[in-house]
Amino acid sequence: MSAAEAAVLEVDSATKIFVDRTLRLALEVLDHRRPVAQLVAVAEAPVVSAIRTLVRADLAPGRTLGAAVLTRVDVVMVDAAAAEVCAAYDRSRRHFALAARITHTRAKGWRLSVLRLF
């Protein structure tokens, strides 16, 4: 791999900040602490729709245990316009995980395009 290819695959601080803020926002929405509409600015329509369904049916994993607290986030660049994310969050003394994908476009910047909760 050349130095130029390695530079493309490095995760910059702006991407890390976007991921951290977006995942915290998604968890706050799932906890009913923020409205789903706030996700529209950072997430694609299918993700917003899926989270809206989880909120309406109160199906967020472990929600009855308390508020979700993001504890670890790892971001791996797939290419210059996409990254895979895995993260851990706690509710009370239980540990949970999530996986996500973010994509970048000129028009919208970084967007949450996939979210999976475990």
What is the per-residue pLDDT across 72-90, written as a single tens digit (0 to 9) for each? 999 999 999 999 999 999 9
d(CA 83, CA 74): 10
Mean pLDDT of the chain: 93
What is the average pLDDT across 65-75? 97
Residue 7 pLDDT exceeds 90? no
d(CA 36, CA 72): 23
What is the average pLDDT across 3-26? 84
The confidence band for 5, taking pLDDT boundaries of 50, 70 and 90, is low
DSSP secondary structure letter of residue 106? T
Residue 1 pLDDT exceeds 90? no
What is the average pLDDT across 52-70? 96
* Confidence (pLDDT) at 9: 76
